[in-house]
A = this chain, B = another copy of it.
Amino acid sequence: MTSIVTAAIILIGDELLSGRTQDTNLRTIAEFLAPLGVEIRQARMIPDVHETIVATINELRASHDYVFTTGGIGPTHDDITADAAAAAFGRSIDVREDALALMQPWYAARGQEMNEGRLRMARIPDGADLIANPVSVAPGFQLGNVFVLAGVPSVTRGMLQDVGRRITGGSVVHSRTVRAAGVREGDLAGPLGELAKATPEASLGSYPFMRLKGADVEYGSNLVARSRDREAVDRCVASLADIVRSLGGAPDIDPKD
């Protein structure tokens, strides 16, 4: 039996779309979800616009098992994700005592005032479960199948530690890479396509690269076999290595899974 569990990721923030900030949270979440057997089906980057956040959460939570948002739960006026998540679920939102109880001793110990901005980070939708923040205390939260996380990468990563136990995973997708340096993707394409047709139980991807090697440009491709069936991946890897060898290359086979 192969159970497929899906997720969608919503990366929130004007700075991602303006090019100011390079997102890295998608990859962090992908690496967190892969061993749990949760497949990310899409990711969206959207601006700090209330209606857009509400509509995107509602569209994606209806069509995926899990939704993760990052960004927009800090202390400033442009941090509007918590309110938007509450609106998406039709919940009220206010400063919540349980969030405040976590935050007050933290700030008190650091001599930082519990001002309006910091209080804003204790605004949690009614009925949401808190997600612990081991980095800077102000919590994220879970509403139904939606996990609302911070956007600062170290905090996003920290919050994921309190998410794993809430996930009912599925069949893990296994993946191995055969690196074909010095072999051109245009020459790999034919035999790769035949292998893909012959092994529908695995998906094969080809990711070309170019890099300087001394005075030359070295061309090559990373050939990736993915499947919920680990043996199918291993069979494909052997065939991929044969293809690379048949084209005069020396395959570099990823042993990890």
B-binding residues in A (CB < 8 A): 13-24, 26-31, 34, 40-48, 52, 74-78, 107, 112-113, 115-118, 120-121, 136, 152, 154, 173, 175, 184-190, 192-193, 196-197, 203-210, 224, 226
Contacts and interface: CB of A to CB of B under 8 A. Distances in A.
Contacts of A16: 26, 43
Contacts of A189: 74-77, 115-118, 120
A198 B44 CA distance: 31
Given A17-B41, A42-B45, 11 more contacts: A17-B42, A17-B43, A18-B30, A18-B175, A42-B44, A74-B206, A75-B188, A76-B206, A77-B189, A115-B186, A152-B209
As for how many copies of this chain the complex holds, the number is 2
A76 B209 CA distance: 14
A180 to B, nearest CB: 12
A66 to B, nearest CB: 14
A204 to B, nearest CB: 7
Given A27-B22, A42-B46, A45-B43, A185 B75 contact: yes
A186 B30 contact: no
Contacts of A23: 23, 26
B113 A187 contact: yes
Contacts of A208: 74, 152
Given A17-B42, A22-B24, A192 B77 contact: yes
A78 B188 CA distance: 12
Nearest to A117: B189
Which residue of A17, A52, A136 has the most chain B CB atoms within 10 A of its CB atom?
A17
Contact of A43 (B44, B112, B190, B196): B44
Contacts of A185: 74-76, 117
16 contacts: A16-B26, A17-B43, A22-B24, A42-B46, A43-B44, A43-B45, A44-B45, A74-B189, A74-B208, A77-B197, A78-B204, A112-B187, A113-B186, A116-B189, A117-B186, A154-B210
